[in-house]
A and B are shown apart, each in its own frame.
Chain A
Amino acid sequence: MVGSIAAIGAGLAVIGAGIGIGQVGGKAMEGIARQPEAASKIQTAMIIAAALIEGAALFGVVVALLGLNG
């Protein structure tokens, strides 16, 4: 039972990250389409933002993984 709830928690965390990274990627692509010469700068900023979002999601996944043992 604990295992399934932990799995649901990990899944919920991933949903959040999916929405977040989707937004970042979509907007970055829009930005690059508008201004192709700024592509490299936008890419770097995008990767930083995606990493920060991913970090938040991974906290969720790790806590879910820890909850699995408890």
Chain B
Amino acid sequence: MDCNRVFVSKVKRLTIVFTLLIAFLSIKIDTFAQVDSAVVPVDSVVAESAHAASGEHGAEAGHGKEKFEPTKVIMEHIADSHMWHLWGHTSLPLPVILYTPAGLEVFSSAHFHHGEEDYKGTYNTYRLVEDHVKVIGANGQVDEATSVLDFSITKNVAAMFVAILVILIVFISVAGAYKKRVGKAPKGLQSLIEPIIVFVRDDIAKPNIGHKYNKFMPYLLTVFFFIWFNNLLGLVPIFPGGANVTGNIALTFVMALGTLIIVNINGNKYYWKHILLPDVPFWLWPLMVVVEVIGIISKPFALMVRLFANITAGHIIVLSLISLIFIFETLAIAPVSVAFVLFMDVLELLVAFLQAFIFTLLTALFIGMAVEEHH
């Protein structure tokens, strides 16, 4: 009997909770329109998509309801840009540096007014077409014939400078501490960084390169910390972070190129013999040489694509989960999507470290294969 009473009260409670849930779900975004615009920029996780939100609200107020396109918004956020979006309609204009056939041209991207206006420079008129600076000819159309080299400080470059600044501050202070405290136990920031440096040396460099590891430690440490700090800054949704630096194929290309050059410069005669004169029957030789030469290129290529795709995929997943709120047009989905975003962000913390680790580990492995003595 007693049990039965408990059961009945539980059912009652469940019914109430369920009714409340249904009621909450049926509330549409119209009711929350005012609250929504206030909430979105405050929530730090949602901040990255605040641009999308404010854009949508602006459209609603202005000229009817504009359809929300998640793919467009996501691609806008992971791509490089000439301005750094801060919140709402506020962006940080970044310098545009162009090398035109006539000469160098430097101006602020604020002159484009978010791509709505053309800017008349010293030599040409420029327009922002899908975040690319294009030259406008005399007839008002985009002039593809004039080739312009774009050396602008874009969002990714600026974010990279931030990361470099952070790395410099951390490592100059740590190096200073080592000079000052010779023979003493590490202290403060030093004791945070030391285990990671020792980890790179003992778990990445030593087992894979062998006794010649010392020469390659600077490169491995630089690569490791540069990727790691950039990955972590990319996860920060507010201003100095949020750029998709390591998820940019150009950056990963340069890093992989560094590995390619270091591996092949340090390759000893056994490494080159293995590639050019492998121990195979002579009729297999032409095939093997081709395969081995492709192998030289394909190893850094895989490094490049792996880092790029992992970090970009992480950003896309986070932005897609945020986009769910705007696809369903209800605030009720927000707790679910924020919870998932939080989960993904924690997972991305692991991925940020893992990708830096993998890149360094595989670089060490390739160097190890190149410098290995014959046995």
Contact = CB atoms under 8 A, between A and B. Distances in A.
Interface in A25-61: 40, 44, 47-48, 51-52, 54-55, 58-59, 61
A62 B308 CA distance: 10
Secondary structure of the A side of the interface?
A: helix
A58 B358 contact: no
B223 interface: no
Nearest to B354: A47
A61 B309 contact: yes
Given A58-B305, A58-B306, A59-B305, A51 B358 contact: yes
A55 B309 CA distance: 9
Contacts of B207: 44
A12 B72 CA distance: 24
A58 B310 contact: yes
Interface in B352-370: 354, 357-358, 361-362, 365
A58 B306 CA distance: 7
A7 to B, nearest CB: 11
A55 B354 contact: no
B313 interface: yes
14 contacts: A40-B203, A47-B358, A48-B358, A48-B361, A48-B362, A48-B365, A51-B306, A51-B362, A54-B306, A54-B310, A58-B306, A59-B305, A61-B309, A62-B308
Interface of A: 40, 44, 47-48, 51-52, 54-55, 58-59, 61-62
Given A47-B357, A55-B306, A62-B305, 7 more contacts: A44-B361, A48-B358, A48-B361, A58-B306, A58-B313, A61-B309, A61-B313
